[in-house]
Amino acid sequence: MNWHLYSLSTDKLQMIVAAQHGKTGDAIPPLDVFHSGIETAYTRYWENRLASLHQVVITCNRCVQLIEYVIKGHNETFKIYSGIEATLSQRSKLLREIIDEPAIVNVNDVLTTRVQRVTNCNRQAMAIIQRVAALQNIVSWIRNNHVSDSTIMGLAEEYERAVLLGKLTCGEILTLYADSDVAMDRLKALSERVGSATGEERQMITEPIREEINWRSFQRNIISATKEHCLSPQITVLQHMLESANVERNRSNSAFTASVKQSDRIKMALLSEPQCEFEFPVNVSFEHSMVWVELADGRIVGAPLKWFPKLREANRFERDQYQMTPVSLIWRTLNTQIHMDDLFDEDNNPLYPIDDIDKKIDL
């Protein structure tokens, strides 16, 4: 028989399998491993089976990849919010120290602390810029790969809002504190105004500062609540989803690889034991005390069920659970099989052509 006409391309299949086990996001080669114009039922069976399993593998990989990107997006958003929260806290403390400065004895300690807070604000702003860039890359990937999914696109919009908030915060912080010397001079001048003012004048100067402190505290509380009650629980759920998706991906990879190996084993069996392609089984049925096997050339051969005790005792459902290969019919749940070589071995096998069945049984 001409096996190579519909054999699997081992090199291509190995390349496909390697792609499944490689880095997430690698390009997966198309499953174009069958030659066209093949008309055997067995070829179509393997083509459909491997193509279907390959598609499952691709789907599972994309699911894992998406969840991984969403987890990265949530983590970057969490870090952006943490950075914003830290800068708001530093800003509030700087303003509060200006109001409370007259009551502080050691002014040098205040100046040292003020320099540290300004430095921390600038450092947090630079960290937020990096997180914003990373989150923008995640948003771009989502938009390029999941445009048709409205839920995922809604998630991308949430990330874009976090990006915008991070940019606004960085712009404000860098405007105020990017030049440390200028920032310190500005804070010093504000402190001197507050310190030299008395009565109503002092109240007029400090009231806007207190309002800003309250506003910064309110913003910080909102961000803290968002992190605690939204992002953290969502990240936990996503991690569980990722674990489940990885399990499904491993199962699909194993199923695909096992099918490839099974096809290769059948290929080797046929190469070592050449068989006429017209002797392939295409159907099996049971009637009374007989099992009937239909071959690809239209012939039907049969054998008494008494030669196969497990098949004889099996119910209809168990008999229907068989697998068909070019060389055998296999009932895995019953641990039994009928090999196609037996169909043409008159001396050693209970399977006989229909015309001779009555004579054989009577013997």
**Do residue 244 and residue 328 come from a single domain?**
no
What's residue 261's pLDDT?
A: 76
**Do residue 224 and residue 75 come from a single domain?**
yes
Q: Of 96, 124, 63, 81, nearest to 219 (Cα)?
A: 81
User: pLDDT digit string (tens) for 161-173?
Assistant: 889 988 888 888 8
**Do residue 122 and residue 236 come from a single domain?**
yes
**Do residue 234 and residue 108 come from a single domain?**
yes
State how far the Cα of 119 lies from the Cα of 55, in Å rounded to an integer. 53
State how far the Cα of 195 lies from the Cα of 192, in Å rounded to an integer. 5
Q: Report whether 285 contacts 270 (CB < 8 A).
A: no
**Do residue 242 and residue 294 come from a single domain?**
no
Residue at 223 is within a domain: yes
Residue at 118 is within a domain: yes
Question: Which helix H or strand E contains 238, and what residues bound it?
Answer: helix 232-272
CB atoms within 10 A of CB 191: 19
Residue at 31 is within a domain: no
What's residue 45's pLDDT?
A: 66
Residue at 151 is within a domain: yes
Residue at 339 is within a domain: yes
Residue at 288 is within a domain: yes
What's residue 33's pLDDT?
A: 40
What's residue 106's pLDDT?
A: 56
**Do residue 326 and residue 240 come from a single domain?**
no
Q: Structural domain tally of the chain?
A: 2
**Do residue 79 and residue 172 come from a single domain?**
yes
Domain of residue 132, residue span: 60-252
**Do residue 190 and residue 300 come from a single domain?**
no
User: pLDDT digit string (tens) for 92-104?
Assistant: 888 888 887 655 5
**Do residue 188 and residue 222 come from a single domain?**
yes
**Do residue 108 and residue 191 come from a single domain?**
yes
**Do residue 114 and residue 237 come from a single domain?**
yes
Question: Which helix H or strand E contains 302, and what residues bound it?
Answer: strand 300-304
Q: Of 289, 94, 268, 262, nearest to 173 (Cα)?
A: 94
CATH number of the domain to which 358 belongs:
3.30.2020.40
Residues β-bridged to residue 287? 290
Give pLDDT < 50 ranges for the chain: 1-14, 16-17, 20-39, 105, 271, 273-275, 346-363
Residue at 97 is within a domain: yes
| Neighbouring residues of 96: CB distance < 8 A, sequence distance ≥ 6 | 213
Residue at 216 is within a domain: yes
Quick one: tokens of 99? 């109001």
**Do residue 331 and residue 186 come from a single domain?**
no
What's residue 113's pLDDT?
A: 84
